[in-house]
Amino acid sequence: MRKTVFATIFVAMSAYALAQTKPAETLPKKWFEKISLRGYTQLRYNRLLETNPALKCEQCDRSLGENGGFFIRRGRLILSGDITDRLYIYIQPDFASNPSSTFQHSFQIRDAYFDLALEKEKEFRIRFGQSKVPYGFENMQSSQNRIALDRNDALNSAVANERDLGAFFYYAPKEIRSRFSYLVNSGLKGSGDYGVFGFGFYNGQTANREELNNNLHKVARLTYPFKTKSGQFIEASIQAISGEYTIATSTGNKLASNTFDDKRIAGSFVIYPQPLGFQAEYNVGKGPEFDPIAKTTTLQNLRGGYIQTMYRIKTEKREIIPFVKYQYYKGGKKFEIDARKYLVKDFEFGVEYQIKNYFELVALYMISDRTFEDYAKPVNHQKGNTLRLQAQFNF
């Protein structure tokens, strides 16, 4: 009897142990379990050693100049992930949008798009929703990765906030998609994966604004990140946009039509900082621009770009990247009142200091010469210098 009891207990314990060693069944993940959450916040102060409080920049930083103080430039949360083997989603709201100089820190959608892969390798994709318009390297580059505090006026004047609502086709071989990812994740300040070739159609009035005419904008871009035998990465791009833009005007600016042609083409060239780096972009085209003599807005030529050099010093715990940048732009800004006339000549030098991947501090000295004129201020030429600081927190 005793042997029977012990045998029964032994069999039961053996069965239990065997059950514990069997691999548990893996249940498929729910879609929400595939979503990652990350973000960053930028805090700025722009007025140290300021020489001219009338020097402002509506497009780049509303806290520049008179009455500017501490300023949350960006407060982003990013939700992204592969929902299925063919569908990728990316949603990025900003909790620090500034729709005007008097109303700050509002909630606004920056990105809300869906990538539909046309085959299993995801080399061919169609992107639907609000996303960056593929025009220019620095425009594509995330503000989280960019060295200079603001994008250049010349190419950024093509698309305010770099984004619009539309549909875009992207193609890149699997190997090059991995290279695009490496150029960002390695700290080389890549622009991200917008395909080797991309084209698309979008509304044209820029992000979070309603369409105001019956013409869709068109864009096309060709780029390629080369890798030399020495391991140096070099990227060259060409891109163009075409469409019609409807401007907002002052009461006194009488126009037969406030819808204008909007066409431009640009070239980009980047040598990634390994450790010495170089960036240059330039664009030309036609668009609306205020004429301070005629006191009205007309279709005019535009041109401009920038050059930048930087040097990456990397240790185990930190990175230091000194940089120098010069930009020039002559043309209108279609998304500002009257398509405000601009002549920009800015020189900047500074340094980015990173502590691992959670904190960055940028100190930048700006020497600026800006003309920005509209119907209310047909004569407005400002020069000035200032020391600008930005703390960025990544999470």
Share of the chain above pLDDT 90, in %: 85
User: How big is the chain, counted in residues?
Assistant: 395
Does CATH place domain 112-394 in 4.10.490.10?
A: no
Question: Residues 244-291: pLDDT tens digits?
Answer: 999 999 999 989 899 999 999 999 999 999 999 999 999 999 999 999
C-alpha closest to that of 274 among 314, 237, 235, 317: 314
Where along the chain do its domains lie?
112-394
C-alpha closest to that of 329 among 278, 285, 269, 270: 285
Is the per-residue pLDDT at 17 higher than 70?
no
Question: Residues 142-181: pLDDT tens digits?
Answer: 999 999 999 999 999 999 899 999 999 999 999 999 999 9
Structure tokens at 348: 């900047």
Q: What is the pLDDT of residue 31?
A: 77
Whole-number Å distance between alpha carbons of 386 and 388: 6
Structure tokens at 205: 């009035």
Is the per-residue pLDDT at 22 higher than 60?
no
Is the per-residue pLDDT at 317 higher than 60?
yes
Question: Residues 113-149: pLDDT tens digits?
Answer: 999 999 999 999 999 999 999 999 999 999 999 999 9
Is the per-residue pLDDT at 193 higher than 70?
yes
Is the per-residue pLDDT at 28 higher than 90?
no
Q: What is the pLDDT of residue 15?
A: 53
Q: What is the pLDDT of residue 105?
A: 81
C-alpha closest to that of 58 among 261, 239, 294, 248: 248
